[in-house]
Amino acid sequence: MPADKPVPRPRDAASLVIYRRERGGVEVLVGRRSERARFKPGMYVFPGGGLERADHLVKTPSTLDAAIVHRLAVGGSAPRAAALALAAIRETFEEVGVMVGEPGDIGRNASPSWRAFRERGLAPPLQRLTYLGRAITPSIQPIRFHARFFAVDASVAHGAPRPSGELTDVQWVPLADTGRLGLMPVTLLMLDALSRQLDANDHRAAFLSFQHGRRQVLWI
């Protein structure tokens, strides 16, 4: 990026890794970004996207674990942390048609996606989410995100996954076989975090950032 051009500020975003245990091992739900996508077209990713105002207005039957709140870089704000988790859940519904929820009433909301949850009588079960980590897009990129990654067991996921205008080739992929998809380093990092949680009960979260163009990963 030219020196005289301002560095774009990262936009708050969130993704959700839905996993299930099958006889062959753990599988995760991924989809392929449209070739028309502005950010990382054609790459396989978890469903996710930017934080929206409507995400702050959702009522939930439970809250995020306090330990997660303090690792999300939200100044310890439980409402902002919850909004990020809710953004991941909403984007998952919009991109792959899966509702993550349990019986409950989210209250009135102007978002068509959240209205669909209310009509279905489902509310996001924030206490079921675990935290995998966060990543900040390098400053040289024209589009930047400060993305947080959550995970949840498919037992609270409703609806068969389907493609959308944002994600195609939506599929369950064995965790041990994700290497064939040519995933981005950040995606592989979050899968590593998930494996640590499931296999070793290691709940440290990954933090991916770039200092002077060099990739740095911390486990916190």
Q: DSSP class of residue 42? A: T
Which domain, by its residues, includes 52?
A: 11-219
Residue 1's pLDDT is what? 46
Please state, in angstroms and rounded to a whole number, the distance separating the CA atoms of residues 28 and 20.
7
State the CATH number of the domain containing residue 47: 3.90.79.10
- Whether the per-residue pLDDT at 3 is higher than 60: the answer is no
pTM: 0.95
Q: Would 57 be classed as within a structural domain?
A: yes
Q: Would 4 be classed as within a structural domain?
A: no
Q: What does the pLDDT look like over 172-208, one tens digit per residue?
A: 999 999 999 999 999 999 999 999 999 999 999 999 9
Q: Would 157 be classed as within a structural domain?
A: yes
Domain count along the chain: 1
Q: Which runs of E-coded beta strand occur in 94-205? A: 99-100, 102-103, 122-123, 130-136, 145-153, 157-158, 167-174
